[in-house]
Structure 1
């Protein structure tokens, strides 16, 4: 793995500073390696098969290039019906890039806790993401935005704005906002925000739904029991989130709360249900509070007149996350 600073020297007498930098960036993109993945520790993964990043380079002040290889197929991520790579595979790649850059280039210690506050992804060129005979080599051109006035020594706040390219062709844009804190502060935060304890989920037992629901373990939505039906706006639909702490994908490593990626997958599935099975083309999500593992989570989808779908995940009257999606 070659992670370093751009060192190529070009004749720049006839180039403007911007042209010179972009020439260096182009060469750096071409020089990214896709031969092996980075260490799983840098993206908080227990299994090396769940790591998609392969290389990185510095491309300027707070600008970085990240290489990733996206598999044709995966236990969680399968090609869309339109033939392009799974939307959530791109989301996971964005998540990994933010975590990796924080550790590698911003001195965030391993073992710190990442709290994602917002994440958005919009596909602009679906054809560039079409799955072919091999894995997709993807380049993320990332700008890291941090608060003015210097870094707080007790926490790291950042936003990662990304342009995603395949074969030199821009295909999507993404953004992720995170807050990173140490284990002591994380423990205090969880203790303050934790709701009253309910009966824990038994290992291996689905939190909601029945065995008949489990046609595909990627499906995370369950129908609402009739006794729990509640009034909803016209056109809105509601489900229960299926939370299985033993799931090898959504709980790839132990978690004391409902993972953000599980909530985003629920939003994707709810948006598709609300639009007749159309593929997701954009998602803008905001996370409010942690979801507890042993309490039911309601997922609601409400189509709007302009073709979007408004989504929410709630637990015990608290909003965990909201999102707006578009499908096509």
Structure 2
């Protein structure tokens, strides 16, 4: 496994057998979803001192199409939202602003023989400030540590959010259009409907496709492009420049501003030298209206 993102994690996998089993079902509202079948988390419990246990189930098929990177990012996202709302008093009425999502993954996690059905997640919650949370996660499969992750996000009260978003607070989804996609296999996808990148006419640059009919990424109406869409677009861009295979084993994502539906978002990817053999390092940047909207540093196993 790559060097841990979270240096203060010293839990042994045997901890799984020492803690109380999670006892509560996860409501879809706690993870900001309308489709119950899209909820990957199953139960959770408190371990005391801002520590929690969460279980997750990955279906063979369904809205996420069996994509390991998408399932993993969605699991990390859902876990952070669940703990914020259920345990840390973040009101369900608040809007959330994702600030960063980082994770490191065991190199053999992408082997189909190791694909997990059920996951166990040890969670630690911290407050960056009164409004912002850091949710750190150790994800285990069959008692083996396979992923370490952290996600920072802020909760914004409805009135403050309306002031912040201004004219962008309402989006007519029926007017949202997307350019034609690149070929699905070039970005590691099977179906055209899954492709988030459109040609730009320049090498290693693409335009983001905001296809709101993609239920894996647009479960319900939102006024900006979700952070999960940007992470998936970064994965597809990394695949395009490292083909034929890109298995992200370390991902560090930073979100600088909201991505709007009414202007093109340009995504650039480049491979840069990596100190470790067997690893390709990719830098991905998204720019909208002349300003950086997000950036992702990704290590991919060869």
1:212-254 CA distance string (max 9 Å, x none): 9895211111111x4xx4xxxxxx7100111123332221100
- The residue number in structure 1 matching 2:3 is none
Q: Does the aligned pair in 1 maintain the 2:100–2:253 contact within 8 Å?
A: yes
Distance 2:297 2:250 in 1: 8
- Classify 1:133/1:177 alpha carbon distance in 2 versus 1 (closer, same or farther; 3 Å): closer
How far apart are 1:53 and its partner, in Å? 0.7
TM-score by length of 1: 0.77
Distance 2:272 2:40 in 1: 35
TM-score by length of 2: 0.83
- The residue number in structure 2 matching 1:287 is 255
How far apart are 1:76 and its partner, in Å? 2.8
Distance 1:48 1:203 in 2: 24
- The residue number in structure 1 matching 2:228 is 261
For the aligned residue pairs, the C-alpha RMSD in angstroms reads 3.1
- The residue number in structure 2 matching 1:144 is 125
Runs (4 or more) in structure 1 with deviation over 4 Å come to 21-25, 129-135, 210-215
Larger Rg computed on CA atoms: 1
How far apart are 1:210 and its partner, in Å? 6.5
Report the 3-state secondary structure (helix = DSSP H, G, I; strand = E; otherwise coil) of the residue aligned with 2:251. Answer: strand
- Classify 1:133/1:186 alpha carbon distance in 2 versus 1 (closer, same or farther; 3 Å): same
How far apart are 1:202 and its partner, in Å? 6.8
Consecutive unaligned residues of structure 1, counting only runs of 5 or more, are 1-17, 80-85, 230-235
The answer on 1:45 being equivalent to 2:45 is: no
- The residue number in structure 1 matching 2:209 is 242
- The residue number in structure 2 matching 1:117 is 99
Q: Which has the bigger relative contact order, CA under 8 A and spacing at least 6? A: 2
Alignment of 1:266-277 (within 5 A): 266-277=233-244
Consecutive unaligned residues of structure 2, counting only runs of 5 or more, are 1-9, 185-189, 275-279
Distance 2:52 2:181 in 1: 46
How many residues align? The count is: 281
